[in-house]
Amino acid sequence: RELLRRCKALGIHTALDTSGFCDLSTAQSVLEFVDLVLLDIKSFEPATYQKVTGVDLAPTLALANYLNQIHKPTWIRFVLVPELTDQPSNIEGLANFLAPLTNIEKVDVLPFHKMGEYKWQELGYEYTLKETPIPTAEQLQSAIAVFKSRGLSVE
C-alpha cells in the first residue's frame, strides 16, 4: 500500500496485477492508489476455477463488480486452455458477465503455452498440464469472437 501511495504521489502510473482472490476490504485499501487493474479470471465455471486455482471464484467476481462500481480501469486476462477453459459455456459465461462492466478497457485472450513447464520440474512438482495441447489458431479466434460479439475490446 505504501509503495503504491508513494508512486502516486510522485505521479508514477500504477498497476495491480491480481487474481482477485482477496478480501474486498483489503483490496479497497490499496485501490485508491492504483491507476489500472489487470485481473486474471482463469475460468467462469466455479468447478473449473476451483480445480485450476484451488480457491473459490466468488471473491474474484466480487472484485470485478467492485472495480466497475468505482470506475477503475481494468484489463481482463483469460488463458485459453484446451480441454480445460475452452468450453463454449465457459467463454460465453465470462463474456456475458464482463459485457455490462463499463470499466473493462480490454480483454486479453491468452493462448496456453508450455514455456513454464521447466519451473514445475525444478521445484519438484508434477506438471499436470504436460499432455495439454496448445490451442489452435481457430480455437483462439473463436474465443476472441465471443468476447467481441459482446462488445468487448479484445487483444
At 103, which CATH number?
3.20.20.70
The total of structural domains in the chain comes to 1
d(CA 79, CA 77): 7
Is residue 60 one of the residues assigned to a domain?
A: yes
- Residue 86 pLDDT class (50, 70, 90 cuts): very high
Is residue 154 one of the residues assigned to a domain?
A: no
Is residue 98 one of the residues assigned to a domain?
A: yes
Is residue 144 one of the residues assigned to a domain?
A: yes
- Domain of 113, in residue numbers: 2-149
Up-side HSE of residue 46: CA atoms within 13 Å toward CB? 5
Q: Cell 479466434 identifies what position?
A: 141
- Residue 120 pLDDT class (50, 70, 90 cuts): confident
The whole model's pTM is what?
0.91
Render pLDDT for 34-83 as a digit per residue (tens, 0 to 9).
999 999 999 999 999 999 899 999 999 999 999 999 999 999 999 999 99
Is residue 35 one of the residues assigned to a domain?
A: yes
Is residue 102 one of the residues assigned to a domain?
A: yes
Q: What is the mean pLDDT of residues 11-37?
A: 94
